[in-house]
């Protein structure tokens, strides 16, 4: 009798940061359009378009302009527990937001990423943890995702630095 092989655990990209701000304030920075536009994305980018439909099945849509490139994307919310957790499927899209497209600069990147962002407050400070897992991905896409961890660390690191600076302004 053949023995079943244990299922391989998926690679989980994880980054966390603690901010000197209460959880409600950090939550609003993640969920309100005018606040998101001021910090979201890699350092040096602009966010000329952002919309948020904060409900399960709703989506945050955005456009990032960075180093001469324009990228559209969406976070389709799967679960929301304000102000503790956001779970979404993250994808790059065409400008209409209707069609999921490949990563503009990383061929073979998964079309969908399962994103879980948690917000934990302790003594007036808020720790955010972002976890990303390739979702509905091929083996090749999962490998590309895993190999992209240093780039994700750099990108998210810059975004979270921008968030810290934004929160420090009050």
Q: Which residues contact 78 (CB under 8 A, 6 or more apart)?
A: 56, 87, 88, 89, 114
- In this predicted structure, the answer to whether residue 81 has a pLDDT above a threshold of 90 is yes
**Rounded to whole angstroms, what are the CA distances from 119 to 64, 86, 124?**
24, 9, 12
Q: Which residues contact 70 (CB under 8 A, 6 or more apart)?
A: 63, 64
In this predicted structure, what is the pLDDT of residue 170?
79
148: confidence class by pLDDT, cuts 50, 70, 90:
very high
Q: Buried b vs exposed e over 5-14: b needs ≥16 C-beta within 10 Å?
A: eeeeeeeebe
Compute the average pLDDT of residues 85-107: 95
In this predicted structure, what is the pLDDT of residue 20?
97
In this predicted structure, what is the pLDDT of residue 105?
86
**Rounded to whole angstroms, what are the CA distances from 31 to 45, 65, 68, 75, 115?**
19, 20, 27, 11, 15
Can you tell me which residue has the tokens 């990563």?
Answer: 103
What percent of the chain has pLDDT above 70? 96
- In this predicted structure, the answer to whether residue 1 has a pLDDT above a threshold of 70 is no
- In this predicted structure, the answer to whether residue 4 has a pLDDT above a threshold of 90 is no
In this predicted structure, what is the pLDDT of residue 44?
87
Q: CB neighbours (10 Å) of residue 148?
A: 19
167: confidence class by pLDDT, cuts 50, 70, 90:
very high
- In this predicted structure, the answer to whether residue 26 has a pLDDT above a threshold of 90 is yes
Compute the average pLDDT of residues 144-148: 97
- In this predicted structure, the answer to whether residue 63 has a pLDDT above a threshold of 60 is yes
> Domains along the chain?
18-168 (3.30.530.20)
Compute the average pLDDT of residues 132-156: 96
| Residue 135 near residue 12, CB atoms below 8 Å | no
| Residue 122 near residue 90, CB atoms below 8 Å | no
């Amino acid at each position: 009798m053949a023995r079943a092989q244990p299922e391989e655990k998926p690679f989980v990209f994880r980054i966390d940061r603690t901010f000197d701000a209460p959880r409600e304030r950090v939550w609003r920075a993640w969920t309100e359009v005018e606040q998101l536009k001021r910090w979201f994305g890699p350092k040096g980018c602009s966010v000329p378009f952002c919309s948020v439909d904060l409900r399960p099945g709703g989506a945050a849509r955005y456009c990032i302009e960075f180093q001469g490139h324009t990228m559209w994307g969406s976070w389709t919310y799967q679960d929301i527990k304000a102000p503790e957790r956001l779970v979404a499927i993250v994808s790059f899209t065409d400008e209409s937001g209707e069609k999921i497209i490949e990563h503009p600069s990383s061929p073979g990147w998964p079309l969908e990423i399962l994103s879980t962002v948690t917000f934990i407050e302790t003594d007036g400070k808020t720790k955010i943890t972002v976890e990303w897992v390739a979702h509905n991905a091929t083996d090749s896409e999962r490998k590309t995702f895993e190999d992209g961890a240093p780039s994700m660390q750099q990108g998210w690191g810059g975004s979270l630095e921008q968030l810290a600076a934004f929160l420090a302004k009050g």
